[in-house]
Structures are given as structure tokens and as C-alpha cells.
Amino acid sequence: MSFLKLTWLRFSIWGYVLLCLLLPVVAGAASGVAQGYKLSEQVVVGMSVSLLNDTVYPSSPQNQNNLLGVVVAQNSSAVSLSSSAGQAQVITNGVVDGFVSNINGEIKNGDSLVPSPLEGVLMKATEAGRSMGSAQQDFKTTDQGVQKKQIKTKDGSIKDTYIGTIQILVARNDFVPKPAELPTILSPFQSLFSGVAAQSVSAPRTITAVAIFAVAVIASMVVLYSGVSNGIRSIGRNPLSKGEVYVGLLQVFAIIILILIISLVIMLLVIKG
């Protein structure tokens, strides 16, 4: 056997051995760097945690501003900075499996995640606040391993919720909800209201103000139609009642003006907040 063939054979054997050794490590590793932190209490793999005074606690709305990452198994990350006893290995940046719940609505791929009332479990973000990161897949209540749990809501009622694990991109940031989109036809009204109020008027306030104006116009038209119809009928029955009819129409116009003034005042209060 030539020297070149022998060298290639040795290289192939060692390459195969190295690949066999590395494959299980890469396949089971979380994508990120894990570091050990002191435990405040027992936590399980997949829990989201916050850091307070060099100690990790299961995440909750109360410690949302101190979010740290997601707990992983020892030596399961691509890089582990420490593995002392009594410590939790936490992924602070990267993709990892973590606990989520549909408490705050259905979770879709790309949704930002924040702590839920269930300690160590994340939920869909809907309000401004500190976010742990984003979902990397949809959360389906029919997936294997998903558990059903009953929780008590703020109003005291019992609500069914589901808890399971999905892939999460741990990338802490501030979540800001997108403003509600306004139909194109209402955009001129929003600009007008913003100019009148000397401040930016949100989409919900614009819609409310336009609805108030529409109701006022409809009410005015109904009053005007009723007044004119009654006046015409009165003159038809008694031509000498023109004077009374004119007085009645003046009263109708006064009512319409009053309706419009009241609606304008309410609209101004709405757009100014």
C-alpha cells in the first residue's frame, strides 16, 4: 500500500472516530452558553428564572425586570462555564426548550414571551414590559406532554390553562406592543383630531370619536326628519298653523344644535384622554 493511501486511511479512521464522539454532544446540546448560579429554591429544567442578589428565582411578574434565562440540564449546553453543586445551569442567550402557557392567549412562532402568574412559566406578551425572548415555534395544546391546569384569575373565576415546552430564543429585551392599525378611511380623522388635541391621538380614541360623531349626525337627521314631516302634515291639515309650524321647526333646529354641541364636547374629551 502506498504512503498516500495509508495516510488517507488513517485520516478517515480518525475522522470517523471524532465524528462519532462529537455527534451525541452536538445533538443534545442547547444552542448557547450556560453559566452556574446559586439557587434560591429547587428549579427544574425548562423553567425561566430571574436573578436577584446573585441568586436565581423562578420568574414571575414581580421579578420581570430581572429576567436572566432558562434552566438547562448540566452539561447540556454547547459551552458550560461552571457546574458546581447547588447551582443551576442557565442559558442566558440562545435557543433552548422552555415552559410556556396559553394563559395570555395562543402562542405563535415569533411571539415575545414574558413571565406568567405561574412561576417559571412564560406566556405571550401583550403589554409593554421586559421580555425573555421569543417563541421559535407554535405552542399547541394537543402536543405530547402538554398538561392542563386550573388557575384563579384576578376576578376570582377559575380558568383552564395548558402548560408545555417549546423552543425559545432567549434574548432579553423590552417588549413594546404594536399600535392598533387604523382603517385607511379613518386616517384623515386621526390627523384632524391630533391637530385639534395638539397631541397624538391613538387608533381606539379615533374610532370612538368618529362613532360618537356618527351617532350625533344620525340622531340629528332623525330629529330633523320628524320635525319637517310633522310640520308638513300640520300645514296640510290646517294652512293657518304656519306660525306654529315655524316655531316648532326652530325648536327642532335648537335640539339639533344642542345634540351636535354635546357630541363635540364628548369627542374633545375622548381625543384628549
Residue 152 pLDDT level (bands cut at 50, 70, 90): confident
Cα separation, 87 vs 200, whole angstroms: 50
Q: What's this model's pTM, rounded to 2 decimal places?
A: 0.58
Cα separation, 41 vs 57, whole angstroms: 7
Q: Which three cell numbers stand for residue 221?
A: 337627521
User: Per this entry, what is the length of the chain?
Assistant: 273
Say whether domain 30-175 belongs to CATH 3.40.30.10.
no
pLDDT tens digits, residue range 154-197? 777 788 899 999 999 999 999 988 766 667 777 888 888 888 88
Q: Which three cell numbers stand for residue 109?
A: 412562532
Q: What DSSP state is assigned to residue 62?
A: G
Cα separation, 203 vs 180, whole angstroms: 6
pLDDT tens digits, residue range 62-95? 999 999 999 988 765 544 445 555 677 888 898 9
Parallel, antiparallel or unpaired: strands 158-175 and 87-101: antiparallel
Q: Which residues pair with 166 in a beta bridge?
A: 98
Range with the poorest average pLDDT among 29-33, 132-136, 205-209? 29-33
Encode 133-166: b = buried (16+ Cβ within 10 Å), e = exposed. Answer: bbbbeebeeeeeebeeeeeeeeeeeeeebbbbbb
